[in-house]
Amino acid sequence: MSVQSTTGYLLQRQWRDTDQGLRYTLWVQTPEGPARLQFNQQQAVCFVSRDGPVGAGADERRASQLRGPDGAAVDALYFRQQRQLEDWLSREDHRSMAFEADIKPVERFLMERFIQ
Protein backbone atom coordinates (compact mmCIF):
# COMPACT_ATOMS: atom_id res chain seq x y z
CA MET A 1 0.00 0.00 0.00
CA SER A 2 1.41 3.38 -0.95
CA VAL A 3 0.92 6.57 1.01
CA GLN A 4 0.21 9.80 -0.81
CA SER A 5 -0.19 13.30 0.54
CA THR A 6 -2.51 15.92 -0.89
CA THR A 7 -4.58 18.85 0.21
CA GLY A 8 -8.33 18.92 0.15
CA TYR A 9 -11.49 20.21 1.71
CA LEU A 10 -13.36 17.80 3.97
CA LEU A 11 -16.92 17.48 2.67
CA GLN A 12 -18.35 14.70 4.81
CA ARG A 13 -17.25 12.25 7.46
CA GLN A 14 -18.95 9.24 8.97
CA TRP A 15 -18.18 6.21 11.08
CA ARG A 16 -19.66 2.75 11.42
CA ASP A 17 -19.14 -0.18 13.78
CA THR A 18 -18.07 -3.35 11.95
CA ASP A 19 -17.01 -6.79 13.19
CA GLN A 20 -13.39 -5.81 12.50
CA GLY A 21 -13.60 -2.47 14.32
CA LEU A 22 -14.66 1.06 13.48
CA ARG A 23 -14.63 2.17 9.85
CA TYR A 24 -14.22 5.86 9.04
CA THR A 25 -15.20 7.21 5.64
CA LEU A 26 -14.13 10.71 4.63
CA TRP A 27 -15.24 12.46 1.45
CA VAL A 28 -12.75 15.12 0.39
CA GLN A 29 -12.67 17.62 -2.48
CA THR A 30 -9.10 17.66 -3.83
CA PRO A 31 -7.55 19.58 -6.74
CA GLU A 32 -7.93 16.34 -8.74
CA GLY A 33 -11.62 16.01 -7.84
CA PRO A 34 -13.64 14.30 -5.10
CA ALA A 35 -12.02 11.43 -3.23
CA ARG A 36 -13.26 8.88 -0.73
CA LEU A 37 -10.84 7.93 2.02
CA GLN A 38 -11.60 4.88 4.11
CA PHE A 39 -9.87 3.81 7.33
CA ASN A 40 -10.74 0.36 8.64
CA GLN A 41 -10.10 -1.48 11.90
CA GLN A 42 -10.02 1.65 14.05
CA GLN A 43 -10.73 1.62 17.79
CA ALA A 44 -12.94 3.62 20.12
CA VAL A 45 -11.03 5.16 23.03
CA CYS A 46 -11.60 6.95 26.30
CA PHE A 47 -9.37 7.72 29.25
CA VAL A 48 -9.55 6.85 32.94
CA SER A 49 -7.38 7.74 35.92
CA ARG A 50 -4.49 5.34 36.26
CA ASP A 51 -5.92 4.21 39.60
CA GLY A 52 -9.46 4.15 38.16
CA PRO A 53 -11.68 1.24 37.15
CA VAL A 54 -10.03 -1.83 35.69
CA GLY A 55 -11.72 -1.44 32.32
CA ALA A 56 -13.30 -4.90 32.10
CA GLY A 57 -14.86 -5.06 28.67
CA ALA A 58 -12.12 -3.01 27.02
CA ASP A 59 -9.91 -4.78 24.48
CA GLU A 60 -6.83 -3.06 25.84
CA ARG A 61 -5.69 -0.68 28.56
CA ARG A 62 -2.52 1.31 27.90
CA ALA A 63 -0.62 3.82 29.98
CA SER A 64 -0.45 7.24 28.35
CA GLN A 65 1.55 10.38 28.97
CA LEU A 66 -1.65 12.41 29.29
CA ARG A 67 -2.99 13.91 32.51
CA GLY A 68 -6.53 14.35 33.74
CA PRO A 69 -8.04 17.65 34.91
CA ASP A 70 -6.62 17.04 38.39
CA GLY A 71 -3.11 16.44 37.01
CA ALA A 72 -3.19 12.70 37.71
CA ALA A 73 -1.87 10.24 35.13
CA VAL A 74 -4.47 8.59 32.89
CA ASP A 75 -4.64 5.35 30.93
CA ALA A 76 -6.32 4.86 27.57
CA LEU A 77 -9.04 2.22 27.23
CA TYR A 78 -9.43 0.84 23.70
CA PHE A 79 -12.57 -0.85 22.40
CA ARG A 80 -13.03 -2.58 19.04
CA GLN A 81 -16.44 -0.94 18.57
CA GLN A 82 -18.11 2.25 19.73
CA ARG A 83 -21.01 0.10 20.97
CA GLN A 84 -18.61 -1.68 23.36
CA LEU A 85 -17.42 1.67 24.71
CA GLU A 86 -21.03 2.82 25.19
CA ASP A 87 -21.89 -0.44 26.96
CA TRP A 88 -18.90 -0.01 29.29
CA LEU A 89 -19.91 3.59 30.04
CA SER A 90 -23.45 2.52 30.95
CA ARG A 91 -22.21 0.16 33.68
CA GLU A 92 -21.93 1.37 37.26
CA ASP A 93 -20.58 4.94 37.33
CA HIS A 94 -18.04 4.55 34.53
CA ARG A 95 -19.40 7.55 32.60
CA SER A 96 -18.46 9.89 35.45
CA MET A 97 -14.94 8.41 35.62
CA ALA A 98 -14.18 8.48 31.89
CA PHE A 99 -12.48 11.40 30.15
CA GLU A 100 -13.21 12.32 26.52
CA ALA A 101 -15.79 9.55 26.14
CA ASP A 102 -18.18 12.08 24.58
CA ILE A 103 -15.95 12.79 21.57
CA LYS A 104 -17.28 11.16 18.39
CA PRO A 105 -14.87 8.55 17.02
CA VAL A 106 -14.28 10.15 13.63
CA GLU A 107 -13.79 13.59 15.24
CA ARG A 108 -11.07 12.12 17.50
CA PHE A 109 -9.47 10.50 14.45
CA LEU A 110 -9.31 13.85 12.65
CA MET A 111 -8.05 15.76 15.70
CA GLU A 112 -5.32 13.26 16.49
CA ARG A 113 -3.97 13.38 12.97
CA PHE A 114 -3.91 17.17 12.84
CA ILE A 115 -6.36 17.25 9.96
CA GLN A 116 -7.87 20.70 9.72
Least confident of 1-5, 33-37, 62-66, 87-91: 1-5
Which pLDDT value is given to residue 4? 73
The pLDDT, as a whole number, for residue 3 is 67
SS (H, E, C) 71-93: CCEEEEEEECCHHHHHHHHHCCC
Burial class (CB in 10 A: 0-12, 13-18, 19+), 68: middle
* The model's pTM: 0.84
Q: Indicate whether 56 pLDDT > 80.
A: no
Q: Judging by DSSP bridges, how do beta strands 33-42 and 9-18 pair with one another? A: unpaired
Structure confidence by residue, pLDDT tens digits, 63-115: 999 999 999 999 999 999 999 999 999 987 788 888 999 999 999 999 888 65
The pLDDT mean for the chain works out to: 89
The set of residues, in sequence order, having a beta carbon less than 8 Å from that of 67 and lying 6+ positions away, is 73, 74
51, HSE (Cβ side, Cα atoms, 13 Å)? 3
